[in-house]
Amino acid sequence: MAQIIDGKKLGARIKEKIHEQIPLLEQQYGRRPSLYVIIVGEDEGSLKYVTNKVKTAKTIGMDARLIALKENISESELINIIHVLNADPLVDGILVQLPLPNHINEDRVVDAIEKHKDVDGFHALNVGSLWQGTHCIAPCTPKGIIQLIKSTGIEIRGKMAVVVGRSNIVGKPVAKLLLDENATVVMAHTGTRDLRAVTLLADILVVAAGQEKLITADMVKPGAVVIDVGITRNAEGKVVGDVDFENVKEVAGYITPVPGGVGPLTIAMLMKNTMECFLCHAESSTDVSKLWATIIKARIGGSAE
Ligand code: NAD
């Protein structure tokens, strides 16, 4: 039977480490990292989700603000607000909660965020840098997925990784991050002819399709690491993933639950990205990976994660 990968515990550990580092950064730079979250409209679920992001940032010692805007705000008004935040040296991270109302072009809004304040890693320049292999802010959920896989102690290098789903926010970036870890990566999607034949190859199976019970036990290689990214509400109103958890856990080696798997890591990585943006601004350098390693490690020891 599979070991359950506890995302809540791992996410809490990462946040705790950041919490410990913030007073030291404040001492050094005279201020704390700051995160500004923008939401447009009054969707209750999204509002709850962004409020949680702001609350988490505050709990670990960051400055965080929620900017809640009316549903009928125009695209140019929204972009103007982003320009103000871009110009403010006390703002490190800007996140615009997606989706936006239909009258607003999401790509134009995301690309209006200054590249080094784009904590979600969705800006075209960050996406380009990710695929080029140069430094970038990587998107939170894919980054969290890599942390979850690494937490099993299984080496990613040389493994066959199958990613189900090819979205810009999960499927494609997680495939690139797995490539960076030297996995052999296969992407499956709605155009894939025999999904089972593909998923059965996977030593590492990442599923981000948004389809309840898409992955059943007969589609999983015994001992595989299964990461379930999906979040949907089923007919009974219960939050479920894409994997038939009860049966797949009998076959897999490691598996993430829903909820309590990928979700907490997404938030933890948002905090980490905010720290990276802060360091980048505080040191006026774009080489934040180097900064992270040298500044944090040298000062208080421990891992750069
Ligand atoms: P999306 O709808 O943009 O993309 C879904 C992808 O899955 C598509 O590329 C599609 O080709 C593929 N797909 C759908 N049905 C399929 C099928 N039957 N067979 C093969 N491929 C199929 O979704 P997304 O934004 O990538 O999100 C995917 C899921 O992950 C959703 O449930 C979403 O709520 C969840 N999600 C969770 C987190 C988190 O933090 N836990 C973050 C982002 C997304």
Residues 214-232 pLDDT 10s: 999 999 999 999 999 999 9
Distance from C-alpha of 26 to C-alpha of 24, rounded to nearest angstrom: 5
pTM over 0.85: yes
Report if residue 160 sits inside a domain.
yes
- 178 located within any domain: yes
Question: What band does 257 get if pLDDT is binned at 50, 70 and 90?
Answer: very high
Whether 87 and 45 share a structural domain: yes
Domain membership of residue 90 (yes or no) is yes
CA-closest residue to ligand 1 atom 40: 263
Q: Which of 97, 115, 118, 244 is catalytic?
A: 97
Q: Give tens-digit pLDDT for 30-52.
A: 999 999 999 999 999 899 999 99
Model confidence at 290: pLDDT above 70: no
Do 90 and 154 reside in the same domain of the chain?
Answer: no
Note if 53 is an active site residue: yes
pLDDT of residue 305: 45
* Confidence check: pLDDT of 285 > 80: no
Average of per-residue pLDDT across 265-285: 90
User: Could you confirm whether 120 is annotated as catalytic?
Assistant: yes
Cβ of 230 less than 6 Å from ligand 1: yes
Spatial separation of the C-alpha atoms in residues 163 and 188, rounded to whole Å: 6
109 and 193 co-located in one domain: no
Asked whether residue 286 carries a pLDDT value surpassing 80, the answer given is no
Q: Could you tell me the pLDDT band of residue 304, with boundaries at 50, 70 and 90?
A: very low
- Average pLDDT over the chain, rounded to an integer: 93
* Between 22 and 287, residue with greater pLDDT: 22
- The parent domain of residue 39 ranges over 29-117
Residue 217 — φ and ψ, nearest 5°? Answer: -60, -35
Q: Per-residue pLDDT tens for 175-190?
A: 999 999 999 999 999 9
State in Å: Cα 210 to ligand 1 middle. Answer: 4
Question: CA-CA distance, 145 to 163, in Å (whole number)?
Answer: 11
Report pLDDT digits (tens) over 57-92: 999 999 999 999 999 999 999 999 999 999 999 999
User: What average pLDDT score do residues 118-136 get?
Assistant: 95
Number of domains the chain is built from: 2
Is the CB of residue 192 below 6 angstroms from any atom belonging to ligand 1? yes
The amino acid occupying position 287 is: D
Query: Is the pLDDT reported for residue 283 higher than 80?
Result: no
Residue 253 within any structural domain of the chain:
yes
- Same domain for 107 and 145, yes or no, is no
Both structure tokens of 215: 């992955």
Tell which atom from ligand 1 comes closest to the C-alpha of 266. 40
Decide if 37 is inside a domain. yes
Do residue 102 and residue 182 come from a single domain?
no
Please tell me the distance between residue 126's alpha carbon and the centre of ligand 1 in angstroms: 21
CATH number at residue 152: 3.40.50.720
Angstrom CA distances, 45 to 98, 186, 214, stand at 12, 33, 24
> In this structure, is residue 302 part of a structural domain?
no
What's the rounded Cα separation, in Å, for the pair 123 and 117?
10
Tell me the CA–centroid distance for residue 24 and ligand 1, in Å: 39
Which DSSP helix (H) or strand (E) runs through 81?
Answer: helix 75-87
Considering the domain architecture, whether residues 71 and 177 belong to the same structural domain is answered as no
Q: Same structural domain for residues 219 and 146?
A: yes
146 and 65: one domain?
no
Q: Looking at per-residue confidence, does 142 or 305 come out higher?
A: 142
Does one domain contain both 145 and 250? yes
Residue to probe by mutation, ligand 1, list 199, 213, 229, 265, most atoms within 8 Å of CB: 229
Residue 107 shares a structural domain with residue 164: no
Helices and strands, number each (H, E), in the chain: 12, 11
Residue 298 confidence (pLDDT): 45
Residues 173 and 254 both lie in one domain:
yes
CATH code, domain carrying 75: 3.40.50.10860
Ligand 1 within 6 A of CB of 215: no
**pLDDT at residue 6 above 90?**
yes
pLDDT given at position 281:
87
Cβ atoms of 265 and 147 closer than 8 Å: yes
Name which of 189, 197, 161 is nearest 176 in CA terms.
Answer: 161
